[in-house]
Chain A
Amino acid sequence: MSQEELLKVEGLSVTYYGPPDVEAVHHASFDIKRGEIFGLAGESGCGKTTLIAALTRLLPDNGAVTAGSIAFAGADWLHMTPPEVDAWRWQKISLVSQSAMNSLNPVISVGDQIVDAILAHRPNTPKREAWERAEALLRMVEVDPKHVHSFAHELSGGMRQRVMIAMALALEPDLVVMDEPTTALDVVVQAQIIHQVRSLQERLGFSVIFVTHDMSLLLSIADRMAIMYAGEIVELGSRERLNRHAAHPYTRGLIDSFPSVFEKKSRVGIPGAPPSMVTPPPGCRFHLRCPERLSVCDVAVPEERVLDSGGHRVRCHLYSVDALRQGSHD
């Protein structure tokens, strides 16, 4: 795997204008290397979908990036004009969205929708060639190519998601954003699709941002991952590090709340509910639910600490020496 940087997000904040105004993503920083699968995990409402919308420049009209920058393939992505962005869409960055069920236009055929994307960006492609490409893409995700003439309602959930993946790869983009691509599917189909993504990614070498709330899934597929809580990235590190040495109490809680397929252990979970994003709690945003809370957590916002040379970072007072010295457990 090359270590060349494809995408670098720095200090990104996104606000939805209300009333009330909600800052759904606060000061998020991470980078994605070429050819890696980068996982993004967190509970519902933690801001992962908003972060994805900002990355794909698909924020709704009432949402805006209020701070930070995104460098994508060497360009200042946030300052590109809409026509420039449109030209880059699908060629450089494509999307597999949350619900495969509703992501296909119900009244035009699957092939039409793939060809649409090809012709929008490569208008000189002969029609026949575009359709042959659509068939080849379906074959690549192991869907019978005769389904280019099928409509969404004629396909099963798993097939639709495969079609979405095929469509996302139509123009061989550098980055494929997958927003909970398997959430709506049963576990067997889920496993097949994950396997497929993995092998396509190894073959074609694109990068993936894989968004999910399923930690165990992420631990099996992602090279590196970031954990989000209440709009912030609270921990970021390689799969190996997070698997063995998850640092943030929230990350550990997430890992413990999912049953493992391979080993038997009791599920602990995280007590309480995510905080309001309108008025996030003072201090550490997680302190109200944290089992290892210090008195300093209530008042001071934790700084980000780097824990190892591999870039394992955590935003938690437990790893700040000063705080440990001063504070004590409640």
Chain B
Amino acid sequence: MRYILRKVLFYGVALWAAVTLNFVLPRMMPGNPAEILLARFKGRVNPAAIHAFLIAFGLNVHQTLFQQYLSYLGQLVRGNMGISITYYPEPVSQVLAQALPWTLLLIGAATIISFFLGTLAGIVSAWHRGGWFDSFAPGVFTLTSSFPYFWFALLALYFFAYRAGWFPLGEAYSGTRASFAISNWPDLMYHTALPAFTIVFTSIGGWLLSMRNNMITTMGQDYILMARAKGLPRRRVMYQYAARNAILPNMTGFALSLGFIVSGALLTEIVFSYPGLGYTLLQAVQNEDYPLMQGTLLLIAVAVLFANFVVDLLYVRLDPRVRNE
């Protein structure tokens, strides 16, 4: 219980730091978003409108920095992250809310599939060390992991979607059917399959190799020998004794990658014109859309913290040693 309490406290402080940095950083950059917006309207705006914009963006020049900070926090609590410049006049929260589900679907599924397949392959590879699977899998998947991602994604798009026509050329759904209704899932799967495949294919090697290494170290432990001496079924030794211990160090890596799901896979989303958060972030950067950038970065930071928090809680179940730390 004390462990959980300490974790909650830690993540609370980390969250506050992320939120505060998110407030400070854009204010240290030259220029201000209202001027950028004005530049777009080429000066055909009256001074009262400028003032209204400044307030809308939380950049009230008549407030001290601390007052701005307080009102920023106040707005944040109400879910107000300002108005996007790119998608003006849509509020940032709404832009993010539209992009988030797509990213969670594509990158989330791909990350989890990659972790499970890679870990399983690592277990099998280490258990049958020197066997037929072990003699090709680590090599092959190290190779695929070292492919430059955009190159591989473009190739896959060219051959499987453009030439062969097995997959759509991009987007997350056909036409305007942006719905997560059950009836729409075949269409979503159809669009998600190829980009998800490219991510899994280029990231599985990392999981495989680290799990294989952990397994080999663990298999040298005395408790594995004891489990064999007990005459336990091979499968039980492999999973309950070896893999169960070997997976622990990998959980931290998995937590991090879960957090970064939200940041989207920028390259994937560009190559496949996928309407996710990575694509949104790119738009924000290209248009100097500070509120949107701020909102996206904050979302990523929160997601990373949240994923780590969940894995920390999971750790309590997986590793009894942290319970009375």
Which residues of A are found within 8 Å of B227, using beta-carbon distances? 105, 116
Q: Is A151 an interface residue (CB 8 A)?
A: yes
Contact pick for A87, options B222, B231, B245, CB 8 Å = B231
CA distance A104 to B226 in the complex (A): 8
B229-A56 in contact (CB<8A): yes
Verify A97–B226 contact, CB threshold 8 A.
yes
CB distance from A114 to the nearest CB of B (A): 10
CB 8 Å contact bits of A104-115 with B (1 = contact, 0 = none) = 111111000000
B320 touching A120 by the CB < 8 A rule? no
Complex contact B231–A89 (CB within 8 A): yes
Q: Does B241 contact A (CB under 8 A)?
A: yes
| B321: Cβ under 8 A from any A Cβ | yes
Instruction: Give chain B residues whose Cβ lies under 8 Å from the Cβ of A161.
Output: none
Roughly how many angstroms separate A154 CA and B240 CA in the complex, as a whole number? 20
CA separation between A86 and B237, bound complex, in Å? Answer: 12
B222 adjacent to A89 (CB under 8 Å) = no
Closest CB in chain B relative to A156 CB, distance in Å? 15
Does A75 count as interface, using CB distance less than 8 angstroms?
Answer: no
How far does the Cβ of B47 sit from chain A's closest Cβ, in whole Å?
A: 67
* B236 proximity list for chain A (CB < 8 A): 116, 120
In the complex, chain A residues 134-190 whose Cβ is within 8 Å of any chain B Cβ: 151, 153-154, 164, 167
**Docked complex: B222-248 residues within 8 A CB-CB of A:** 222-223, 225-233, 236, 240-241, 244-245, 248
| Contact, CB under 8 Å: A116 / B230 | yes
B321 touches A120 (CB 8 A): no
- Would you call A95 and B231 a contact (CB within 8 A)? no
Decide yes or no whether A321 CB sits under 8 A from chain B: no
A164 vs B225: C-alpha distance when bound (angstroms): 13
Give chain B residues whose Cβ lies under 8 Å from the Cβ of A153.
320-321
Which residues does chain B contribute within 8 Å of A44, judged by CB atoms? none
Chain A residue with Cβ nearest B241: A105
Map CB proximity to B onto A255-292 as digits: 1 under 8 Å, 0 otherwise: 00000000000000000000000000000000000000
**Residues from chain B with Cβ under 8 Å of A104 in the complex:** 223, 226
Pairs A–B under 8 Å by Cβ, sample size 28: A56-B229, A87-B231, A88-B231, A89-B230, A90-B229, A90-B230, A94-B229, A94-B230, A95-B226, A97-B222, A98-B222, A103-B222, A104-B226, A105-B223, A105-B241, A106-B319, A106-B320, A107-B244, A107-B248, A107-B320, A108-B240, A116-B232, A117-B231, A120-B231, A120-B233, A153-B320, A153-B321, A154-B324
Known: A107-B318, A164-B226. 15 other contacts (CB 8 A): A58-B225, A90-B231, A94-B230, A99-B222, A103-B223, A103-B225, A103-B226, A104-B226, A105-B223, A107-B245, A116-B236, A116-B240, A117-B232, A120-B232, A121-B231
Q: Which B residues have a C-beta under 8 Å from some C-beta of A?
A: 221-223, 225-233, 236, 240-241, 244-245, 248, 318-321, 324
